[in-house]
Amino acid sequence: MPLILALDDPAKPLQEIVGRLCGVVDGFKVGVPLVVALGGRAVCRLRRLCPGALWIADMKLADIASTMILTASQLVDCVDAIIAHSIVGVKGALGELKEYLDRHNVKLILVVAMSHPGAVEVYNKLLEENIAVVRRVNAWGVVAPATMPEVVARVRRELPGKTILSPGVGVQGAKPGAALCAGADYEIVGRLIVEAEDPYREALKVLQMQREAAEKCAAKR
């Protein structure tokens, strides 16, 4: 099942977790706190423990082109994809970033909507514009919140060819499998697994829940 593990907290036993969950999850998403604490090269070191997985730098880039490219340049050698915010738009921002990432064979993933309650009042109001940005820069994937399955379903309808990654599963409240049923390709789980007493067992449990949910919604169709 399509599960990506989010690694954000530098205080966790990251090497142990990556080693143990390699082959169990499809990929690893490393977040800003981890990169800030350990430096960008730490991502390369972690990757060596599971080189075949999908590695995503969740930098949540949201800046002018030159700054985003300078950040990306520290990471393109060790990840398959980088996450940026669609809300910064194309000209002088994501357009140039996409060209840069293409030259380095790194995929661009754009956040189109966020998973927390406050997003509704600001960020998510721009969903239509954000989807248009994804089309214009031809991003490989999009981030849409598992906590809002109706948003995932809309993104699936409007961006049929794009890979959808859905965070918000677990601690934030979405049940494993709910976003997959709404059309997501991957669910992203962080604290639920990372903070479990036994992350390996917890990941297997999440995978089982994803499988059951997927069977149920396939049966409904």
> Which residues lie near a copy of itself (CB under 8 A)?
8-10, 31-33, 35-40, 59-67, 70-71, 73-75, 85-95, 114-123, 125-126, 129-130, 133, 172, 191
Shorter beta-carbon distance to a copy of itself: residue 59 or 193:
59
Helix, strand or coil, per DSSP, at residue 208:
helix
CB-nearer residue toward a copy of itself: 23 or 120: 120
Backbone phi, then psi, for 104, in 5-degree steps?
A: -105, 15
State how far the Cα of 74 lies from the Cα of 42, in Å rounded to an integer.
11
Given the residues 12, 60, 175, 205, the one annotated as active site: 60
Q: Which is nearer to a copy of itself, 145 or 149 (CB)?
A: 145
**Closest distance of CB 199 from a copy of itself, Å:** 18
| Nearest distance, CB of residue 208 and a copy of itself, angstroms | 26
Nearest approach in angstroms of CB 156 to a copy of itself is: 21
Would you say 102 or 215 has its CB closer to a copy of itself? 102
In the block, tokens 């989807």 appear at 131
Between CA 216 and CA 210 the distance in angstroms is 10
Q: What angle do CA 199, 201, 207 make, to 5 degrees?
A: 100
Distances in whole angstroms, Cα of residue 21 to Cα of each of 55, 154, 168 = 13, 32, 20
Known catalytic membership, residue 60: yes
Q: Shortest distance, CB of residue 216 to a copy of itself, whole angstroms?
A: 28
Burial, 194: exposed, middle or buried (Cβ in 10 Å; 0-12, 13-18, 19+)? Answer: buried
List, by residue number, the catalytic residues: 60
